Each structure stands twice: as C-alpha cells, then as structure tokens.
Amino acid sequence: MKHTLLTLLLLLTLAARAQVGDHRNDLAVGISGGYVMSTVGFMPKVPQTQYGGITGGVTLRYTCEKYFNSICAIVGELNYSQVGWKEEILTPDDLPVVNPVTDVAEAYRRHLTYLQVPVFARLGWGRERRGLQFFFQVGPQLGMFLTESTDRNFPWDAMNRADRTSPVVAQDTMAVERNVDYGITGALGLELSLPRVGHFLLEGRYYYGLGDIYGNSKRDYFGRSNISSIIVKLTYLFDIVRTKNTKIK
C-alpha cells in the first residue's frame, strides 16, 4: 500500500516538472459539490446498502503542458464529505427484521464526516479555452476523521438477533478507532470551457480506502473495515493565470 502511494506521488512530481511538450502555465481555482454513495468493507461481512451523503469544497488546478494531444495538469482539493454505512437487516427469507418492542422493521445507519484531501495527476483531451474536454485523473487521497453519529429505531437491549441473517452486530456500538483514512481515487469526466466565464466540470469518481476505521490486528474483531465510495461531482473553476498563446483553443 505504501509503495503504491509513493509511486503515485512520484508520478505527480514528474508531471509537474516535465516540460517535453507545449508549455502551459495555467492556474485555476474554484468550488465543487456532489453526492456520495458509500459503504464500509467489513470482514466479517456486514450486509449493507449504499449510504447517501454530500461532499463539497475548494479545488486548485495547475496545467503545466500539452504533450501531443494530452493536456497535463495537477489537481488538488480540500473537501468536507459525509460517508458511512447503512445496514440491510433482513431475515433468511429476505424480509425486513421486525423488532419485538417497536413492532417496526429495524434500521441502522452510521454517519461519518471527514476532511478529505485528494491530489490528482490529470490528463485531458479536447478544448482548453472554448468547448468540451474529456478528462481522466487519478491519485492518492488523505482523510481526517471529524465526527460520527448514529440513527437507529430499536433499543440495544431488545435487538432482534434471532431473525437476522447476519449475526455480526459489533460495529453498531463501536466508535471509530482510527482518525486518518487514506486510499486511491480516480475519476472520468467532461469539462465545458466558456471564454470570460470559466470551466464547468461534471465527473464520476471512485474511491477505495486502503486504511481501516477500526483496528485490524489478530486481537481485533474486524480484520478489515475500509471505506469505498462512488461520487458524482460538479465543479466550477475560474482562471487566475493563463498562458499567453493565441494558438490555444
């Protein structure tokens, strides 16, 4: 895992210093927001559906060169993100588990908030100043845990364990043990550039956590508890510095 992150950081550094193609010196900043669908990869397994949350923050992009048809850039972000897990509490017949006290189907959600810092190496193909551009970006992401909270509709001492398909419930009462999250994230998207207006980006992103929210030693209950998420994001950027070249389209 450490070697993978170091390799990506090295690639980002080389991209920033390389000046093989047509030089660019474009700096753009802006804001972004989107919707996050996340799960936690527990081992032993916890049945889940996608947890829905929001994300938003600031974006900084430096474009350094155009190499043949590829526009090379480095992108950094600072985001506030809501992630977590939503348990799928079912019987062996795939029916909702009814609590004997409340007489309603049991439901459980854990809300986690993070301050996330992804750094991307970005390649784009298409128009830079006016029109559409397709892009791909990938890089490491670091997250700092902020807060957590729980939604449940049943009392702990009257949980219906007898009818559940999964007997794994330890996570329901465990607080997050590790405050730092890290992993790999990648994205595909489209960018629309309008002169004197700015850049509008729509992208789909996937994040895979390499760290765990709980301890994973032989003495711990979970051997794995990593966050993964799918993000749909909209970003607006405006230029601070632009390369003076009339041939750039």
Q: What is the CATH number of the domain that holds 194?
A: 2.40.160.20
Print the domain residue range for 179.
2-241
For the chain, the domain total comes to 1
Q: What is the pLDDT of residues 51-105, one digit of tens each?
A: 999 999 999 999 887 777 888 999 999 999 999 999 999 999 999 999 999 999 9
Q: How far apart are CA 138 and CA 114, in angstroms?
A: 20
If we measure between CA atoms, which residue out of 164, 224, 237 comes closest to residue 44? 224
Please state, in angstroms and as integers, the Cα–Cα distance from residue 103 to each residue in 25, 95, 153, following that order.
64, 14, 10
pTM of the model: 0.87
Q: Can you give the pLDDT at residue 2?
A: 55
Residue 246: inside a domain = no
Using the predicted structure, report yes or no on whether residue 111 has a pLDDT greater than 70.
yes
Residue 248: inside a domain = no
State the maximum Cα–Cα separation within the chain, in Å, rounded to a whole number.
73
